[in-house]
Structure 1
Amino acid sequence: MLTPVRWGKGRGYLTSFRGDVGIDTTAVPVFARPPRARRSTGEMIASTEITAGWHHSAGNGPPEYGYSATLTVAARTRPASGSFPQLALGLVLDTPHKRIGANAITTLKPLAALGLPTGFAVVDRAYTDQQPGHFAQPARQLGYQLALDYKVDQRGVQGSAHGALLIDGSLACPLMPDRLAQATTGLDDAAIRTPSDELAALITAREPYLLRLKQSTNAGGAIRFQCPAADTSPSLTCPRFDRLHQRGPLRPAAVDLTDARQRAAHLAAKPRVLPPQPDLKAGELPKICRQHTITLGKDDLGHLDKFRQDLPYLTPAWIRTYKPVRANTEGINGRLKGHDLDLGDPKTRLAHGRVAQTILVALLVTVADDHFLDQWRHTQQPPDEAAATSTDILEIPTEHVDRAPPTVRSRPPPAP
């Protein structure tokens, strides 16, 4: 099914693709009847599709008996420049709710061989629940950054490492005010989808307390973060940091009060951390307070590493990335099932068995991708494929055209 992707890349149609992908599973119902009880005796009768199962969607619809197709989609965020066709880049068919994270990684691995860039991998909460070694860590090893969502009981303070709090997937100062740290705790999905002005203000107020990225992930999976009070341009001020690192008062500097940037850059305009009084001794403080930076190893968060993401949750940057990619992902699922070769119609796939179903689904997705490419070409009209003009057509001069009838008689038609 990668043939249309290779063809589109070779023709330059994916030049504007920045590597952002959406990953999701969609139901692929089968024609076979599900397991059922015999009316006369109550004995259970197995289905002829023994590897199929019940696919439960995130919505309120009834479950469907069949397989789950994991699809990776070439997605576009709103600030992206240029246009490219929306294609399915990868497919794995499996029993519903089995190997969710591993199947997603399987769809991502061939993309590197195609020379496609890596950007954000945007997924729903089914992938957030996967063990770090099944999805989050392999995805990062492939070069992807993660944009995640959480269930109601997963929002807010999720854990800690080296004294830094893990809050909605981001590491933060341990002295972040509790009102900010618990801003999303217990909020339902409706409040998250349409944040109120109060919640948006709390999310914005969190940002100065978040640890800064000092060094990207190395070959061993470790990543370095910096205390927000460190460096020459801190995002907040901290008396604990000043005491431990012997930072004296800064020299007075003139500030142009008419310049908004200068006003915002001055330390007096930044939040100030309030340590407890009396404060802990130096030897009792967490590592993030004793050092300018900390190194977060691959296993330092344990199973909580599945929650860590690369954009602060519910910030404008997260919204600009997460929502458009999820819309692209749901859109291509709808297009595949609204296509002439309906992926959701089991009558187009009557063969039994997961292998046969995988081949048939792959053929359907390949044909659909080819149609999507054709539609995009007609809509965008790439310059190298403009409609041929009359000068592009080879014409034979009229004097060279032989209009005489053939001299050799052809054979008569066969007898009836």
Structure 2
Amino acid sequence: MSRPRAWRSPEKIRKCRPRPVTDAPFEIPDSKVGQLDALLHGSGALELIDTELAGRPGPDGLPVRTVLVGLLLSLHYHRSASLADVCRVLLDELRAPARGWLGVPDPGSLDDHGRHAFTRRIYRSFDRLTTALDPFRCDRRRRLPADEAALAVAAWEDTDAERMRRRAVLQEISDRLVLTTVHLAHRRGLFKGWRGDIGVDTTPVPAWHHEPCKQRGLASVEITAGWHYCAGSSEGVFGHSATLLVAASRRHPSGHSQAGKRVSRHPQLVLGLVLDTPGKRIGPNTVHALTKLVPLGFPAGILASDRAYTDQVSEHFAQPARRLGYQLVLDYKKVHRGVQGTHQGALLVDGSLACPAMPTALAQATLGLDDEAVRGIDDNTRLREQIAAREPYFLRLKESADKRGAIRLQCPASGPSPSVACPRFNQVHQIPAPRPAVVDLTNRRATTAHTAAKPTIPIPQVERLRPLPTKELPRICQKPTITVRPGDLGKLDKFRQDRHYLHPTWQDAYQPERANIEGANGRLKSHGINIADPSKRLAHGRVAQTVLLALMICSANLQMLFSWTQTTGTTANSGIVDAITELEGTAPASTTANGLPPPQPPVTADTSR
């Protein structure tokens, strides 16, 4: 057997040899710098930052815009939000046009002292931002005594006007950095098929520093951090808690309604972010993030949350979410399953009001079930049958929520199409016995609507012989309809939800939306941008952590958009450039060699003519 010709050619052999890795730094295209800079300008965060920094004593220093663009570039190419990586990106990886846009000096003209001086300018610029937004400026380079740290912690909780204003500005900057990618996707029509379903979760954001030391009386460097306990875990994570909203979707009970391969109709972007101390303001933080979505005109669909939100006071979570138009789909702890209370005589069974005479076996079908039994309902035939047998006994919706959030519910035995047969209802309202009628047994609809095919409310034998006076009956039995207003159930209002617990319609919404939020958490804590790795965001203080985390979410959303467009086959290049030009608010007069306009702040039209 003869050898291939390529093996006998020394020239071809030399070309196939592996090339050594060059020591030259990587060069970032000017187009990527311009896109991220335009995206940052379009977010509006720079306007708030410039307003806060205006009038501060001392020289202006390096613009904060340069540092933020460097952070976005570092996250995009190196998956890091460390200022040390930002220094290397700005000095060694930018081309001459991009350096001119951002005000970065030519690295060839700098010696070691010049590079060190520029590095210090980057750190001072970021420090000016965190100082201007910090409600209580303290030494973040050492562990403070517990009494001094308590003063700084109180500044994040008190009602001082200036401190509240700074906290609000910081949150607004975080909102704008996260929502700029959502605006970008929305303007391109990527949320056209989205129903407005949202999955919400609170995830731990670990801190780099040690927890407080009680023996030495020292606080942590992260003075507002605490212990975050995930569901089912007895070991806490020291750091902050991040409330995340993710664009989710429900599934069809019988599978996907369209034929062919099932693909996502919209990108599952992070729609909101609030960083806070663990265990603080879990419900209000979610409501704040939901409120920020109202100006975008998104529909209000289903809001799926875990048991941490079920424990929230109704005024802090359930009621504001319903006023925004969302339907709640909740889960319960083991001790909260089954009959949870009563309202106007009706039983509150797993978050839904039901007939007071519902059989006990059905009402307490979920009593004492652990989480594994609930998650494995598909393999539990008896439980599925009991959940299906509950449905006729639930009160039915007669009128949807009005402006005040009040709904009208009616007895399951009332109306033109009752779901149960109730002797008590027939006696109180003097309903005559139905006349015998011929039923076509081959007609499924006719046989289902017949009284004999419906379950009968089990009335005690004593009451059948001696009916109770109308005044002694439950309120729902005296009149067929009741009005449920926000807060009418008192402490039980936090358990009320809009889909019957464990019913197929509940699983159709809860399971996929919880999978969406967990999938987003997995992407945010993956080998790429890992928000769970504190070494990627080493800056001290809650202000710095909030800004860095918002930039990480913004960069992760851009990656999700790119992955989604590649998966679905959507052409994204021209659309992104057009959307960024629209966000920038001005048509550039000149372009660079690569066809991208040099980034500029929005230009105000001249009206003096």
Give unmatched runs, 5+ long, in structure 1: 388-416
Say which structure is richer in strand.
1
Secondary structure of the 1:2 match is: helix
Q: 1:3 to 1:386 in 2, by over 3 A?
A: closer
Per-residue Cα deviation, 1:135-161 (whole angstroms, up to 9, x for no partner): 000000010000000001100000111
Structure 1 residue corresponding to 2:560, chosen from 343, 362, 372: 372
**Farther-moved stretch of structure 1 (284-293 vs 324-333):** 284-293
Alpha-carbon distance in 1 for matches of 2:472, 2:426:
16
Bigger CA radius of gyration: 2
> Amino acid of the residue matched to residue 27 of structure 1?
P
Match of 1:345 in 2: 533
Cα offset, 1:299, TM superposition: 2.5
Contact map agreement 1:54 1:96 (CA 8 A) in 2:
yes
Match of 2:376 in 1: 194
Cα offset, 1:50, TM superposition: 0.5
Kindly indicate whether residue 314 of structure 2 is the aligned counterpart of residue 132 of structure 1.
Answer: yes
Cα offset, 1:44, TM superposition: 2.9
Match of 2:250 in 1: 77
Contact map agreement 2:565 2:572 (CA 8 A) in 1:
no
Kindly indicate whether residue 410 of structure 2 is the aligned counterpart of residue 210 of structure 1.
Answer: no
Structure 1 residue corresponding to 2:198, chosen from 21, 27, 30: 21
Per-residue Cα deviation, 1:74-93 (whole angstroms, up to 9, x for no partner): 00111277611110000000
**Farther-moved stretch of structure 1 (50-59 vs 140-149):** 50-59
Structure 2 residue corresponding to 1:306, chosen from 488, 494, 504: 494
Cα offset, 1:201, TM superposition: 0.6
Kindly indicate whether residue 191 of structure 2 is the aligned counterpart of residue 9 of structure 1.
Answer: no
Cα offset, 1:339, TM superposition: 4.7
> Amino acid of the residue matched to residue 184 of structure 1?
T
Contact map agreement 1:339 1:368 (CA 8 A) in 2:
no
> Amino acid of the residue matched to residue 179 of structure 1?
A
Kindly indicate whether residue 448 of structure 2 is the aligned counterpart of residue 264 of structure 1.
Answer: yes
Alpha-carbon distance in 1 for matches of 2:302, 2:320:
14
**Farther-moved stretch of structure 1 (125-134 vs 184-193):** 184-193
> Amino acid of the residue matched to residue 15 of structure 1?
K
Per-residue Cα deviation, 1:298-329 (whole angstroms, up to 9, x for no partner): 22210100000000000000011100000100
Cα offset, 1:386, TM superposition: 9.0
The equivalences for 1:76-155 within 5 A come to 76-79=249-252, 83-155=265-337
Say which structure is richer in helix.
2
Alpha-carbon distance in 1 for matches of 2:232, 2:472:
48
Cα offset, 1:382, TM superposition: 2.5
Q: Which runs of 4+ in 1 moved over 4 A?
A: 383-387
Per-residue Cα deviation, 1:98-127 (whole angstroms, up to 9, x for no partner): 111111111111111111111010000000
Per-residue Cα deviation, 1:203-228 (whole angstroms, up to 9, x for no partner): 11110000000111222222110100
- When the two structures are aligned, how many residues end up with a matched partner? 383
Per-residue Cα deviation, 1:270-293 (whole angstroms, up to 9, x for no partner): 001122222321111121001121
> Amino acid of the residue matched to residue 86 of structure 1?
Q
Alpha-carbon distance in 2 for matches of 1:23, 1:280:
47
Alpha-carbon distance in 2 for matches of 1:189, 1:243:
42
TM-score in terms of structure 2 length = 0.61
**Farther-moved stretch of structure 1 (21-30 vs 292-301):** 292-301
Structure 1 residue corresponding to 2:236, chosen from 63, 85, 93: 63
Alpha-carbon distance in 2 for matches of 1:71, 1:273:
44
> Amino acid of the residue matched to residue 253 of structure 1?
A
Identity rate, percent: 55
> Amino acid of the residue matched to residue 230 of structure 2?
S
Alpha-carbon distance in 2 for matches of 1:64, 1:287:
48
Match of 1:32 in 2: 209
Q: 1:28 to 1:384 in 2, by over 3 A?
A: closer
Alpha-carbon distance in 2 for matches of 1:364, 1:43:
35
Cα offset, 1:385, TM superposition: 6.5
Match of 2:403 in 1: 219
Alpha-carbon distance in 2 for matches of 1:54, 1:185:
31
> Amino acid of the residue matched to residue 283 of structure 1?
K
Match of 1:295 in 2: 483
Structure 2 residue corresponding to 1:249, chosen from 433, 449, 455: 433
Secondary structure of the 1:218 match is: coil
Alpha-carbon distance in 1 for matches of 2:387, 2:512:
20
Cα offset, 1:356, TM superposition: 1.1
Secondary structure of the 1:91 match is: strand
Alpha-carbon distance in 1 for matches of 2:551, 2:571:
30
TM-score in terms of structure 1 length = 0.89
Alpha-carbon distance in 2 for matches of 1:344, 1:297:
41
Cα offset, 1:61, TM superposition: 6.8
Q: 1:386 to 1:51 in 2, by over 3 A?
A: closer
Cα offset, 1:261, TM superposition: 2.3
Alpha-carbon distance in 2 for matches of 1:119, 1:299:
21
Match of 1:411 in 2: none
Per-residue Cα deviation, 1:22-60 (whole angstroms, up to 9, x for no partner): 0001111111221125xxxx3232111110011111143
